[in-house]
Structure 1
Amino acid sequence: MKKVFLLLVFITSLNFSQNKQSNFSFDTNFFDAVDKWVVFPNTDSSLVHAYGFIYLDNTAGFTFDFENKLVVLEDGLKNLKRETEPGTVKYRLEPNTNKVVILTDEQIKELNLPKVPTWLSLYKEGSNEISYLKNEGYHYNHVGACENALKPLLKAYKMNPHFEGLEFELAYAYNHLKKYEEAIPILKKALKNNPKDFYFFRELGYSYVHLGKIKKAESTYTKGIEISNNDFEKSEMALNMAQAYFKLKNRKKFDQWAKLTRKYAQKNADYVKYIESFEKNWYEE
């Protein structure tokens, strides 16, 4: 039977409200429930919940395979009459997906489910290959789960540090986790291998800014802007420097980078609004 892929917007009713009567504790991020049977919260006063299996499609991202609906009774969980065949409805999970509850082994048996679906092995093929590991790290980074991204990315980095896209994902994860000192050597080696990738300059400048190494950040961002062909990225780098000089109350340098931000950002872009806010609040603590 043909599989049906639906966007997350169609399961917002499963995501954004908790029913306290169910006694489920919806306290697990979906990206911490990979390869697990999970239950989503409902939006009404009933004890009916959708449940299924979360897995990572290495190409498409985190996915919820809808199994069925269950009802919470005094003596346990019970399946409702099935409306769709297993495996026919899947949802791609995005960063705004609400938290879930992972079913216990006892509950899995109660619902007559296998420990893991038989089809899961198809999505594990090549899981030790560098491309798979890099993509896995990318998907975790994409949803903000950068701590989870480190394990596959570091494993891949040992295989081939210069594999396409890998160094950026690893540095991005470190920067997101405020581990700037770890990001810097990754990016320096990346730039030595490929000095024309402005994304490396962007991340390196970000590391330097947050370590308070403003001069290094400025020279790094200047080089990144020189070689970049992407006005949005140029405006982001310029804004980061403008913000750094705003915090230092260096008006001359701030004005220089504010001008560059306006040059590369679209007229009504948020980055321009940030510059206007800095200017308006220059003398405030």
Structure 2
Amino acid sequence: MHVLLAGSTGVLGRRVVPALVAAGHRVTALTRRADAAVDPRAPGVTVVSADVYNRESLARAVARAEPDVVMHQLTDLSRADLEANARMRRVGTRNLVDAAHAAGVRRIVAQSIAWVYEAGDEPADETTPLDDTTTQPRRGTIEGVIALETAVREAPEWVVLRYGLLYGPDTWYAKDGIKADDARAGRLPGGRDVSSFVHVDDAAEAAVAALHWPSGVVNVVDDEPATADAWAPVFARAVGAPPPATVGDAPRADWARGADNHFARKHLGWSLTHPSWRSGFDTL
């Protein structure tokens, strides 16, 4: 297939490009700047520049590329700015979907997140409603995700990948990442909130596999949702930080329930190199 990858220089995009090529696909790597860090000499890769906030420029780039699939790995997390990332989901996605539609692209694969489900006690599966009645600041994130997923579903064929918390090289949960800095500074507490993780390499492989998955939403998370009391000490040890502070009997946030990967594993045949953060953190 010929895949146009938007977000090719991000944490995931930098891994998805070589994974696509290794799987035999041709890649058009869409970047905001012509000098972005994608090697234009890489076999099977063409680099084009366009700003996803410039509708006309983006539409021209997608039309000229003539891809079979558009893959959306766009984020705006460089400043840990939740509103900037929500805007990317709302506006950037809208522009990319419109450009794909105008170019006659039938399939879109898009990045979303797995901590957007409504309150509950068990890990959420793909049938669980999104948390659209929550309050700020979480509400801004949820609204961005809803806008992204609603736009992507307009394509004749679509897959939304709801990723867990990414860990591994270049992520927030790396030895040199933001969360490691927090852990070393004593700012990473334990607690009862439940999270689901996924290693960045497993997340990239899921994106490649999704080219052949049926339309729908897929939780891309590892096998072990865990409380911060469970995972934070393991992460702290892996990055050379002291044990995290305890938070006593502080209650769990009702939406912090983790996500279930049963559908991806049992029905789509997805497998993980790092099935649990327990062993995955040892690779940091």
Short-chain TM bin: under 0.3
Structure showing greater radius of gyration is 1
**Greater helix share, 1 or 2?**
1
Query: TM-score with structure 1 length normalisation?
Result: 0.28
Looking at both structures, which has the greater relative contact order when contacts are Cα pairs under 8 Å and sequence separation is at least 6? 2
TM-score normalised by length of structure 2: 0.28
